[in-house]
Amino acid sequence: MSDLNKQQLPEIEEYRHPEKTDDPVWLGAIARVSTLLNKTAAVISATLLVGMTALILLEICMRFFSTSTYMADVLVGYGVAAITFLAAPWALEEGAMIRVTALTDRLNGWARWLAEAFSVVTAGSIMWFLMTHQWGSVTKLYSRGSTSEHFIPIPLWIPESFFLIGLALLLVQFVVRGLRLVAVGHADERALNI
């Protein structure tokens, strides 16, 4: 298996970060900021998973006493969205986001570079496109002051922001990959070994 498709098994494989990179200094700095943001979002996402599990267990216990938090399903629902969008950028960075590499593996040189450039540019564009629209949604909900219709009303812009943040972080990462592609000729965070 080539480097590009070695992440076929996100469930059991850990991503091995290279000890050395061939990034120029300026790119390394941008990449580190992106990584730091992604890791922070991932840690928040992991914490939320613990919180959701605990909330569900609490709800089950309360049901024994014929009472309820009345909020478990809505909070857990928002939690799923948060986990999805906040952990996605880190998952992409760790190579867990799957892609079909059966064809690109057979390409070499400029053809492969072109396929990778196409992937990075199109993926980055759709993130940008969605981000601008999601920004509109979040600001609209914020200024309208809409809340969810639950026991404790939750401002609707909060769950919608998870998606916005996720899109922004994904976009930053695609930009980093794009710059790396231009600067050093490959998009992954790895040193060329010949």
Partner 1 sequence: MSITFSAGVLVALLALFLGAGVWIFSGLMLVGASAMYFVLDFNLVRIGAIATRVISSSAISWELAAIPIFMWMGDIIFRTDISQRLFRGLAPLVARIPGGLLHTNVFGCTVFAAISGSSTATTATVGKITIPELQKRGYDLRLSAGSLAGAGSFGLLIPPSIAMIVYGVLAEVSIAQLFAAGVIPGLMMAGLYVGYIAIVSLMDPSRAPRFDGEVTARAMGRGLLELLPIVLLMFVVLGSIYSGLATPSEAAAVGVFGAILITVVTGQFSLRLMRDSLLATIRVSAMILMLIAASSFLSAAIAYMQLPTQITEGISALQLSPYGVLLILAALYIVLGMFLDGTSMTVMTVPIAVPLIVQAGFDPLWFGIYLVIMIEMSALTPPVGLNLFVLQGLTQRTMGETVRATLPFFLLLCLGTVILAVFPEIVLWLPSRL
Partner 2 sequence: NVRWDFADEYGAQSLSGQACNFFVSEMEDRVGDALTINYQGGGALGYKSTDHFDAVQDGAVQAAVTLVTQLGGIDPFFNLSSLPFIASSLDEAYLLWQAAREEYAKIFEENGMVLLWAMPNPPSGIHAPEPITSVGALEGLRIRTYDVNGTRTLREAGAAPLQVAWSDLVPQLSTGGLDAVLTSADGAIQLSIWDYVSDFTEMNYAMGLFMCHVNKDEFDALPEDVKTAMMDSIDACDEYNWQIIRDSIDTAYERMAENGMTITREGDVPAEVFEHLQEAGASVRESWLEETGERGQNVLARFEELKAQAG
Give 156's strand partners.
Answer: none
Q: What does 103 bind: partner 1, partner 2, none (CB cut-off 5 to 8 Å by kind)?
A: partner 1
CA 92-185-88 angle, to 5 degrees, is: 5
Instruction: Give the residue with the Cβ less far from partner 1, 102 or 194.
Output: 102
Does residue 106 belong to the site contacting partner 2 (CB under 8 A)?
Answer: no
Instruction: Give the residue with the Cβ less far from partner 2, 26 or 129.
Output: 129
Neighbours of 88 (CB within 10 A): 22
Instruction: Give the residue with the Cβ less far from partner 1, 30 or 130.
Output: 130
* Binding-site size, partner 1 (CB under 8 A): 63
> Going by C-beta distance under 8 Å and a sequence separation of 6 or more, which residues neighbour residue 8?
1, 98
Tokens representing 172?
């930053």
Interface residue with partner 1, options 23, 34, 85, 178 (CB under 8 A): 85
Tell whether the torsion through CA atoms of 144, 149, 153 and 155 is positive or negative: negative
Say which residue the tokens 């948060």 belong to: 82
Tell whether the torsion through CA atoms of 103, 105, 111 and 115 is positive or negative: positive
Site string for partner 2, 129-148 (x = CB under 8 A): --------x--xx--x-xxx
Interface residue with partner 2, options 150, 183, 185, 192 (CB under 8 A): 150
Check if the beta carbon of residue 18 is closer than 8 Å to that of residue 189. Answer: yes
**CB 153 to partner 2: min, Å:** 5
Neighbours of 38 (CB within 10 A): 23
Neighbours of 7 (CB within 10 A): 18
Summarize as ranges the residues that interact with partner 2 (CB under 8 A).
Answer: 63, 66-70, 72-73, 137, 140-141, 144, 146-151, 153, 156
Residues in contact with partner 1 by CB under 8 A are: 1, 4, 8-12, 14, 42, 45-46, 49-50, 52-53, 56-57, 59-60, 73-74, 76-81, 83-85, 87-88, 90-92, 94, 96-104, 115-116, 118-119, 122-123, 126-127, 129-130, 132-134, 136-137, 159-160, 163
